[in-house]
Each structure stands twice: as C-alpha cells, then as structure tokens.
Structure 1
Amino acid sequence: MTLMLLGLFGLLMVMGAPVAVCLGLSAAATILAFGQPVAVMAQRLQNALDSGPLLAVPLFIFAASLLNATGVTTHLFDLIRMLVGRLRGGVAQVSVLVSLVFSGISGAALADIGALGGIQIRQMTEQGYRREFAAGITMAAATIGPIFPPSIPIIIYAAAANVSAVKLLLAGVVPALIITVFLMLQIAVIGRLADLPRDTVRPTKRAIARKAGISAPALLAPVLLIGGLMSGLFGPTEVAGITVAYAIFVGIFIYRALSLKDFLTSARETVESTANVLFIVSAAALFAWVLTVARAPAEVSAFLLGLSDNPLVLLLIVNVILLVVGMVLESIAAILIIAPIVAPALTLAGVDPLQLGIVFVLNLMIGLLTPPVGMSLYMVSIIAKMPLHRVIAGVVPFLIPLFLSLLVVTLFPGLSTWLPNLLIK
C-alpha cells in the first residue's frame, strides 16, 4: 500500500500536477485499490478542517493583509531605515529588522516577501547594491516570519503533531532572534568585504520621533499578539481574532487609510490564500491517513530508533531528511505528512516536542530557498524581474547564517524551550 501511494504521488509530481492534487488523488486511488471504505475519504477531509487552531490561519492572513493595505510596511521601513540606515550595508540591515517586526503580523514567509520584497529590493538597487544581493537577503530575511509568532506553519505543525500551539509559538521567539542576529552579522561581513554603501538618509531627531509616532500602532501589533499569548488568557485563534479587530481599528481610525475597497480586496485575498492552504491541509490529511493504515509511522519509528537512541543523532538525521524533503515538497504538505510519522519516534527518544517543532519548521523554511520547489525563489524572481538562476545565486551566501541558526537550535534545546516553560506552567 505504501509503495503504491508513494509511487502514484511521485508520478503525479513528475507530471506537474499541483501538490494538493498529487496528495489527494494518490490517496484516493490507493484507498479504492485496496478496498478501503469510500466514505472514509469524505470523513478524513472534513475532520482535517474541523480544527480550532486552524481557524487562526485565515485570521492571521486577513490581519496581515489589512495592515499591509494601510501602508504599515512603508512606515516600518522608513522608521528602521532612519535608525540603522547609516551602518555600512544599512538598507540590507533594515530589510532584516523590518522582516522581524512584520513577522509579528504576517506569520508567513511568502506574505513577508509579497508585502516587503518590492520595497526592499528597490531601495537596495537604487543605492547601488547588486540585484542578486538584494534578492538574496529579501528571501533569507523572510524565513524569520514562519518562526516568530504568529507563525502559520507552526500552528499547522502543532495541530498535526498534537503539541500546544501557544507554547510552540512562544518557542519560536528566541530562534527567530538568533536568525536575525546571524543574518545581520553576515551582512556586516559582506559589507566590509564588498564595501557596501551606507544609506543616504540623514534624519533629524525630530523626524525620527515623528516617524516613530506614526509607526507606533504598527509596532504595537506584535506586542499585542505576543502579550496575549504570554498572558495565557488567549489561544492562537482568539489572539488572531483580536489582531484582525486591531488591524481594522488602526486602518480606519488611526491611519484613516483603510477604505471599503481595501477591506473587500483583503477579504478576497484571504479567501484565496486560505483556500489554497486548506486544500493542501485536507488532501495531506487523507494522504497521512493512508500511510497510517499502512503502518508507515510505526515502521519509520522502528527504523529511526534502530539507528540510534541518542536524541541528538536522531535530530540530525531528521534534519537531513527534512532539508531534502523541503527541496521537493511544499512546506505545509510536508508538515502534515511527515510530522505525525517522525514526531512520536523522536519524542520517545527524548527530543523535546517544542524543539522538534521549531527545527522542523526552520528546515522547511530553508527549503523555500532551494530549487526545484522553492516558492520564495519564484516569487522574488517575479517581483525583481530577474531570471531564476540569478535569484538562486543571490541567496546562496545567506544560506550560511540560516544553516548556522539551524545547527544552534538543534544543538541547544533550551533556546526553544526556555521561554514557553518560563511563561506557561
């Protein structure tokens, strides 16, 4: 059963079918071929979507779209540019810091690229940066979004692996800051070696104070979100709903830039994005169910535990597997298929579930920067109007700080577990 399922899936992938179609069609054909009840297909598809934590996904997408429609990204970019732009390679450093702040709103790498990519690449190229460099740092900085809360991949992982979504979201705070620091250090090194330009902006203290006041509502959004999670009063879904209400309030009453047309456009974009995500979620759930019936999780667990009972060794093995999987499979589908299979084995071996979740998601986010299925590559190629091979060349140097971040998070579990264990008993 497993061989037929994986064979059909691989064949459909080679034929160029969408990932959700590959998952759902191969699972349905295997169910019919082995005489499983046909009704199970509808049941599994429905059960996959009947999840409270998953409700946070469309709400966070909606909140990010609303805030982006009000011009929040421009205000954030201008403020951080005033603060650190005079450093060598300053606009590139600004891109990393803006991605960190905006990640507290969007929760998705592609959302960060869509909202910030055009601004970042244009600002850097206007000041003399190579287009490959500008594209590379834009993509690398976007990996912060799915690690720092709110993170849509982390919410989906928590549902798939049966882990507390609140604790797992908080577990991403320190690793996201580590990625930020490593990326900024890489820019500093390249800046010195390649003599990157300093920003041309020369703001006065009064201008900085004024821009800080304008940007304050946007800066408060991540504080509101993380504070709600840390207080324990709200779960991810409740916090997502509050963030949407806050985005509407800010857009209408503070920035006065959110029109009815913008609201409807954001709603339409949210429906389209959510439909794509949930189509994959439901198809992957059916695929994972067939794997479970075929006893694939038990066999994989036995195989991994047979290789070693050392948690670090197993985690390194899973790192390699996920890096390869991330190159060929869409990240949400990979989470829903692989997490239920490997998480029990590694947890049984002593790997902390929170650390495993962060390592899992970070691996797959690095996969967004690698061909042939790296969606960030294709998105930046369109935004920057650059051929794909130049985009890939631009991101290669920034894989170094990302892999270093992954190694540090893998070797030191306390970086993922300290904050959630401190705040939530």
Structure 2
Amino acid sequence: MSATAIALVAAFGGLLLFGVPIAFCLGLAAAIGLWVADVPQVVLAQRVISGTQIFTLLAIPGFVLTGDLMMRGGLSRRLIRVGQALVGHITGGLGMVTVVSATFFAAISGSAPATTAAVGQIMIPEMERHGYGRGFATALATASGPIGQMIPPSIPMVIWGVVSEQSISELFLAGVVPGLLIAAAFMVACAVAARRMDVPRASARATRRELGAALWDGKWALAAPVLILGGIYGGVFTPTEAAAVGVFYGLAVGLLVHREIGVADLYGIVLGAMRTTAIICLIIATAAAFGWLVASERVPAALAAAVLSVSDSPVVILLLLNVTLLFIGAIMDNIAAMIILGSVLTGLGAQLGLDPIHLGAIVVINFAIGMATPPFGYSLFVGSAISGLSIERISLSIWPLLLVQLAVLIAITFVPALTLALPSLLR
C-alpha cells in the first residue's frame, strides 16, 4: 500500500482505539491522509458536503421521526397486546410476544436500538414477573431489536441502496424473508427456554372476542406498515416520500386518535429525532470523505484481491466474508462500515457473481447480527441500560440466540432464493 493508505488506516485505527467518536475518527483520518498525499484540505470540505447531497438520504430523518412518534404515541404497547392475544397461551408464549412485537415494531421504526428500547422496556419486567430469568429476557429483547434492520423500512437498507446504487424497494423486500425466519427461529428458542426454566403459560387462550378487541385496539399500529410498504410497492410514493407519509401518520394517530401525544410533547420528540439524525448524517458525511480517499488509493481493489487470493472456492470466500462482516458489525458503527467498505464489497460481489440485491441482504443482516454480538454490539448497551444488567451477564444469555441467527445467515448466504424471491416479483 502507498504511504497515504498506510497513514489513513493507521490514523483511523489509532483514533478508534483511543475511544474517539467514529465520525471524528473518519474526518481526522481523512485530513491526515490528505496531508500525507499533499492534497489541499479544502478537498475534505468538498467531499463532506457532496457525501450528504443525496436525495435518498432524506428518508432517514423521516423514518427516525416516524419511529419516535409511534413509540411515544402508544403503538408499541398496542402491538404487544396483539402479540399477547395471538401467542400468549403457548408454552414460551410471553417470550414469543416479545419477538412478535419486535417484528411488528421493526416494520414501523426500521431501527434496532429503537425496537430494543420500545419492546424491552415493557416486556423485560413482564417476562421476569412470569418466571423467565432476567438475563434471558434481556437477551431476547436485545437480539430481537436488530430485526428492525432487516424488516422494511430499514434505515441500513436505505444506506446500502445509496452506497451500492441499487433499488431501495428491492432491498427492502430482500430483508423480509430473512427477518421472518429469524423471528420464527427465536419463537422456537422461546418455547425451548420456557420448558427448560419450567415457566408456566402466561395466560389462557384468548377468546375470539378478546382477540378481536386486541386487533381493533391495535388497528392503527397494524395499519402503519401496510400503509408505508403498500404505498412503496404499489407505486404510490417512493421510499423517501414514504418516510414523510409515516411522519404525518404518526402525528395523526398520536395527536388525534390515541391522544397520547400532546402538542407540548412534539418539541422533545422532534429534538430527539434531530439528534439521532445529526449523528447519522455526520457519520455519513465524514465517511464519504474517508471513503473517497480510500478508493483513490485503490485500497478496495487490494483488499478484494487479498480475499480472493485466500481460496478459489466461492464457499470459502463467502464464509470468510461473513466472519469479517460479523466482526466489523460488532465493533464499528454499521452506517460508517457500509460507506467505507461499499466499493470493496460491491467489487468482491461482482467477482463472485453475486446478485447485488443478494449481496446487500448479506451485508445488512451480518451487521444486524453484529449489533447484538458481544462485546461491543450497540443493542447490548441499549439492553443493559433498560435492564440494569451488565454486558457480561447479557452476553452469557444471548449466545444461543446468536447461534440461531448464524444458522439463518448461512442459509440466506448459500440459498439466494430466500432473499431474491420477493425482489424478483417486483422486477
């Protein structure tokens, strides 16, 4: 590698080890790389600005605000009641309610931390009260949260669509089957865990009247993904426009229907969404400058050649790719990782003959699993904050759920139809 590439990688790694926030790691490393390459620093400002001048990125603040509005508006609580009526009577049913609720909420928020927080705050104490260990309850909420990155609308899918220049609508569809497979596998794990811990059934089977009442009370929550996704795939609006529709829907339901949000609450909700959006966009901006310099030094081509030189077998290369992405997802911000590695991964996928949509699903799902992978997965910190348990305690309980996710990951890696069946219908 050139002196510039070495300086770039060394600066980024050193800053990261010293605990510097990821956005500043990227920006400072890019500035150092430009200095070593004797390129004017004004290029850094130009690349930072150009990295955010992408229309599709407007979907991010919209989906972030939509998730916050719907969580504060009581939709998460109503989704949990629907889940309780559907599967609460089954052995392990309360754990299954957590999974079902997380899957529903994922289709609203598109965010792993938001899903973990919204569902975990309600379900962790409830599961513990019914005999589940607090460690397992927290691990389940933590592992279920990243389903929000698979089920559309998924913010990481939007980012990958921008980075790889692929259809966001097709990427959304590519995550549906893997997300549902992981949810189903988690429900089986709940049944096994409940029998092992001798947890009694949480409730009797809901009557038709009770089920109908729960569905009716949760109708506005259940309608949200239908409205957003139906509008996208029905050609009514684009994914970016869908984010705006979601905001107006969340406002209408919270203010006028459930009336759990007051006008005075909007300032705090919008401010929180703005903070989240600002963090994401700062990472995107600095990562764009970093990524441009990495690409100009031909680092992606060198890394792709190094990976391909390990073996001639596509199976070995794909396994190595998954291991690498899981490790990166567990120690690094997903959005920054996708932007930095985008050119490397798309080039590697092309050489392996992977469908770009299939590759996108593999990347996003790897990073989603990494969100709950010890020791640095971001969802672990959210789970720890809402449960009061240490990261070590949660890590001891989460490993069986991680094995389940890894099994699904291997399946979607080597059976492309699991991710491409729905996008092919759209095509």
Aligning the two structures, in what range does the TM-score lie when normalised by the shorter sequence? Answer: over 0.9
SS at match of 1:144: helix
What amino acid is aligned across from residue 224 of structure 1 in structure 2?
L
Aligned to 1:249: 252
Contact 2:91 2:195 in 1 (8 A): yes
Contact 2:82 2:215 in 1 (8 A): yes
Equivalent residues in 2 for 1:68-79 (5 A)?
A: 68-79=71-82
Equivalent residues in 2 for 1:169-188 (5 A)?
A: 169-188=172-191
Cα deviation code 1:162-207 (max 9, x no counterpart): 1111111111111111111111111222223332331146644323
Aligned to 1:67: 70
What amino acid is aligned across from residue 389 of structure 2 in structure 1?
M
Give the gaps of 5 or more residues in structure 2.
none
Residues matched between the structures, number: 424
What amino acid is aligned across from residue 184 of structure 2 in structure 1?
V
Does structure 1 residue 8 correspond to structure 2 residue 7? no
| Runs of 4+ that moved beyond 6 A | none
TM-score normalized with structure 2 length: 0.96
Alignment partner of 2:107 out of 77, 81, 104: 104
Contact 2:375 2:395 in 1 (8 A): no
Aligned to 1:127: 130
Contact 1:129 1:197 in 2 (8 A): no
Distance 2:131 2:114 in 1: 26
Aligned to 1:238: 241
Cα deviation code 1:326-373 (max 9, x no counterpart): 222111111111122121221232111111111111111111122332
Equivalent residues in 2 for 1:2-401 (5 A)?
A: 2-200=5-203, 203-308=206-311, 310-401=313-404
What amino acid is aligned across from residue 417 of structure 2 in structure 1?
G
TM-score normalized with structure 1 length: 0.96
Q: Equivalent pairs: percent with the same residue? A: 36
- Cα 1:309/1:236, change in 2 over 3 Å: farther
Report how far residue 309 of structure 1 moved: 5.5
SS at match of 2:48: helix
Distance 2:258 2:422 in 1: 34
Distance 1:303 1:318 in 2: 12
Distance 1:307 1:191 in 2: 44
Distance 2:288 2:375 in 1: 24
Contact 2:255 2:263 in 1 (8 A): no
What amino acid is aligned across from residue 402 of structure 2 in structure 1?
L
Aligned to 1:415: 418
Cα deviation code 1:79-103 (max 9, x no counterpart): 2112211111111000000011111
Report how far residue 131 of structure 1 moved: 0.5
Distance 1:234 1:310 in 2: 42
Report how far residue 126 of structure 1 moved: 1.1
Contact 1:315 1:346 in 2 (8 A): no
Contact 1:171 1:358 in 2 (8 A): yes
Of stretches 351-360 and 341-350 in structure 1, the one that deviates more from structure 2 is 341-350
SS at match of 1:143: helix
Report how far residue 32 of structure 1 moved: 1.4
Contact 1:359 1:406 in 2 (8 A): yes
Give the gaps of 5 or more residues in structure 1.
none
